[in-house]
Structure 1
């Protein structure tokens, strides 16, 4: 298969870099963290056998620069970016959407606000901690992370955040600390430059975001909530499990942990093809 077509889209306050592969109905992939479009490299080509697959770098990452580097980031604006891509690439038909981590938060907001443009959403471990009964505890964690980031810098803040995301009592080296393939290592090195933006600008507003739970419940027939097999009990897993129970829907378990997309791409992609099928998960 030939490589993706790379293009750029002007949106309010930023220029998005996006990639398109394949033919068929549109499948929009929304990345989390600092991985950008490249985080889907392990699954995009396979999915392109059935879909027009579009992936992109969210605003503020190195390849999708902001007009104002100091601009405050909001879930709603990131969701509008995704909507603009849907309007550009599939103006006449609703699309399928996959979001991981912070990208899954964007996908939830997109479904809640633009349901007429969405056929199906797969949300893998959206850390919408405000839905949890112990949300106040996690707000305190996020405040400590920001204080640490401002006082001590990136690495201490990142370490504090990582410790807060693990399940209680888990060893820092657990099932998710899998040796990454060379491509993933290179990608991790390349995206380290975006970590200050992610810790300082995305984490505070995205993890404080409270989704419209009643609205999502009404749309749950087109929402697939997902978690990692190896991340049961960890903070990013818990909101998906909580919402699936509240909606009376299945929580689909993908291979690996929170980063299963990178550590188990073949198995992750195979299951993703199944859950994207309305016939399989109606």
Structure 2
């Protein structure tokens, strides 16, 4: 991680036509001669604005951020099917091709981490190192059926009752510790007012988290064989204080079949996911400052017992240097927005 204060260059915004969408992305060139591979910072549904602070720290390389299709500046064609992780994987493949800069290093958070894993599985030559921060992968959990049903129930609540009720259900789900009970999806949704959210339905159904991700993430099946065969080094970053929440796939024993693990930051996935919606919400429990792992460090250093790739020898625990008192990408994005408990 660079020392001192962030001094990244001003980003240049570009656009890319892909099948069914137009993607907006920002390029921050290295200050001086680049000495490392280009770095992509990606989230979902969080767009480029959520990574502005983090991107400014990496002055030794070109840094690229983007808005996934249907988010912020990126548009989807009218009537297009909801984007799946494989859809995003193809978009990212085309983005790297347009940059003519592959292979690249990638730091991906939450839904973006799922999309990045799908990307590596489909186009392994694009990515040298992937740091996947707490990908929500219910399919790899022992309680996969209950977790999948619970996520789908959040989407159904959104369609039925609107943003406030669905976001309350979402926060309750991702704050839950331990296996998801089998009857979770059948339980009454929590009161939105208890989370500082509106109880009225404004009629909109365009929220990318509740309307798309909660529908398309649960069915995704991790392509383990493709990840093991890829030359990409995959490091799963785990929140040290996230506990056994819905993103605990990063801690699942099966994870050792396709990735190394590196405890990364104390910020919980519940806080990151809620922050990625662009709204400040009142949560049970405290928000935590975190010291995120440096994608640059993870991209250039192998931890003890790792081989620099996912296939071959069993991976061990990668050690990643940390800086104190830094917000996670998603939390940093939320901290720059005024507090509000309703849709704009």
- Distance, in Å, in 1 between the alignment partners of 2:212 and 2:260 is 32
Q: Using a 3 Å threshold, how does the CA distance of structure 1 residues 195 and 46 change in structure 2: closer, same or farther?
A: farther
The 5 A counterparts of 1:228-239 are 228-236=239-247, 238-239=248-249
Larger helix percent: 1
Q: What is the TM-score with the length of structure 2 in the denominator? A: 0.67
The superposition leaves residues 166-206 of structure 1 with CA deviations (integer Å, 9 ceiling, x where unpaired) of 2338xx9xxxx9xxxxxxxxxxxxxxx99623211222112
Displacement of 1:247: 4.2
8 Å Cα contact 2:234/2:258 also seen in 1: no
TM-score by length of 1: 0.81
1:272 aligns to what?
Answer: 295
Contact 1:19/1:56 (<8 A) preserved: yes
1:14 aligns with 2:21: yes
In structure 1, what is the equivalent of residue 214 of structure 2?
Answer: 203
Aligned to 1:28: 40
CA displacement at 1:148 relative to structure 2:
1.3
Q: Contact (CA 8 Å) 1:228, 1:260: kept in 2 or not?
A: no
Partner of 2:264: 253
Structure 1 equivalent of residue 228 of structure 2: 217
1:68-95 Cα shifts (integer Å, max 9, x gaps): 255322211111111111111135x411
Report if aligned partners of 1:76, 1:106 keep a CA contact under 8 Å in 2: yes
Structure with the greater alpha carbon radius of gyration:
2
Q: Which of 177, 180, 191 lines up with 1:168 in the alignment?
A: 177
Report what 1:50 is aligned to: 60
Aligned to 1:73: 83
Look up the SS of the partner of 1:276 in the other structure.
helix
Contact (CA 8 Å) 2:24, 2:73: kept in 1 or not? yes
How many residues of Structure 1 are paired with residues of Structure 2 in the alignment?
256
Measured in 1, the distance between the counterparts of 2:259 and 2:130 equals 16
- Structure 2 residues without counterparts, runs of 5 or longer: 1-6, 179-189, 196-203, 276-286, 309-344
Larger RCO of the pair (alpha carbons < 8 Å, separation 6+): 1
Residues 125 and 85 of structure 1: is their aligned pair in 2 closer, same or farther, counting only changes over 3 Å?
Answer: same
- 221 and 59 in structure 1: CA distance in 2 versus 1, 3 angstrom threshold: closer
1:220 Cα deviation after fit: 7.9
Pair 194,152 (structure 1): closer, same or farther in 2 beyond 3 Å? closer
Q: Give the 3 Å change call, closer, same or farther, for CA 248–19 of structure 1 in structure 2.
A: closer
Task: Note the 1:87-236 alignment, pairs <5 A.
Answer: 87-91=97-101, 93-168=102-177, 196-219=207-230, 222-236=233-247
What is the alpha-carbon root mean square deviation over aligned residues? 2.7
Aligned partners of 2:176, 2:223: CA distance in 1, in Å?
26
Over 3 Å counting, the alpha-carbon distance change for 1:101 and 1:115 in structure 2 is: same
